[in-house]
Structure 1
């Protein structure tokens, strides 16, 4: 995605924000979301020929660059694999549990074993040693496969939403489920409080779209700086 494509993505996100709560625009909102969301994943999520933001990130990416920690960046020290882990876990939790009221992809697919990690949380408030360990040990191919499965699950959930459901508030019992599952570290329970104040539309406008966009752009900046 070049600068103009990024500008268009941002313009379309503003459009999505303006129509998502209007029942008469329900089908248009879903279609626009699906287009926006697909541009944040590898193009094979929709078998598209369009270069996506994730395609740009992964193109010519080295394993060393993927895992490098800490990185020299004005807005993060965390590795690119941490960025991908973080956005994938948050989308999995918010879309599957809080919106879809179903199991996380992470647990239904036994991903903790495939990923070669020992944590289940979002990555918020990790110590430097914890980030270093995750960056060094996580299975990158498994991470990208997990992310793809999360994206596909999100798309299925959003397609199933009915007019008016974007205004549906997050149920406290679903927040409690995430807490019981170790979704966040004890130092990061503020994130559950934040999600608990959201509705379905709010979760779609941030974790499922804008949050991905921000971290993928951050990751591309890191990659470009390391591999210049």
Structure 2
């Protein structure tokens, strides 16, 4: 893991454990997310459209076996689902912003169910500029939610009715590679969700994207 990002993440986790440093911890989280977002935005200058679909490590184990467009979609679909459906009980940005049609996505799920060639078949259909608009809107929304959290909120777990709403939306595939996410998220408190998916999940997939980019360039 990138040493600087790892240290930021560790520092944030330490700070949000205490009430008197909680707000400082949120600031560190936002700094980390801004650094990671800047890396994602840099791809727009460094990559051609077809590079977003390239899978140079298709047969490997790990996040780098996907492609960059998939990774962007996946990071922010998960964040949109968790922040809005599970934490707030609000409409997801994908739906309120009519982003499925804008991005031209054939799916509304996280994409966990897709494997190998299915991934590039999916991402070749995406409007990358609209995908970047989506990720910016999701990031802004999530950070507004986090900004309004109090220290005591961190112990709150996902309400059961929101779990049921999540299932009803069909935004997590019933495929075995995806359906486990529901229990994974719903068994966490808000502090756990700040780690996964609002920080560490970003790091892992951004590092995978950099590995793909470096292989291509």
Q: What is the TM-score with the length of structure 2 in the denominator?
A: 0.91
* Structure 2 Cα separation of the partners of residues 20 and 27 of structure 1: 7
> Which residue of structure 1 lines up, in the alignment, with residue 57 of structure 2?
72
Partner Cα distance (2:15, 2:74) in 1: 28
1:39-58 equivalences in 2 (<5 Å)? 39-41=35-37, 52-58=38-44
- CA offsets, 1:107-135, max 9 Å, x none? 11011110112211001121445323212
Structure 2 counterpart of 1:222, from 208, 212, 217? 212
Is residue 99 from structure 1 mapped to residue 87 from structure 2 by the alignment?
yes
Distance 2:101 2:115 in 1: 22
1:207 pairs, out of 193, 197, 200, with 197
Runs of 4+ aligned residues of structure 1 deviating over 6 Å after TM superposition are: none
Distance in 2 between residues matched to 1:131 and 1:55, nearest whole Å: 21
Pairing 1:8–2:4 present: yes
SS of residue paired to 2:202 = helix
Q: What is the rounded CA distance, in whole Å, between the counterparts of 1:143 and 1:217 in structure 2? A: 19
The answer to whether structure 1 residue 21 and structure 2 residue 17 are counterparts is yes
Alignment of 1:1-228 (within 5 A): 6-41=2-37, 52-68=38-54, 70-72=55-57, 74=60, 75=62, 76-128=64-116, 130-187=118-175, 188-227=178-217
Whether contact under 8 Å (1:95, 1:154) holds in the other structure is: yes
Q: CA deviation at 1:163?
A: 2.5
Is the Cα–Cα contact under 8 Å of residues 16 and 23 in structure 2 kept in the other structure? no
Q: CA deviation at 1:88?
A: 0.9
Name the CA shift for 1:174/1:21 in 2 (closer, same or farther; >3 Å): farther
Structure 1 residue runs of 5 or longer lacking an equivalent are: 42-51
Distance, in Å, in 2 between the alignment partners of 1:222 and 1:214 is 13
Q: TM-score, normalised by structure 1?
A: 0.86
Three-state SS of the structure 1 residue aligned to 2:197 is helix
Deviation track 1:73-117 (CA, whole Å, cap 9, x = no partner) reads 633432211111100100111112222221111111011110112
Q: Is this contact kept in 2: 1:20–1:29, CA < 8 A?
A: yes
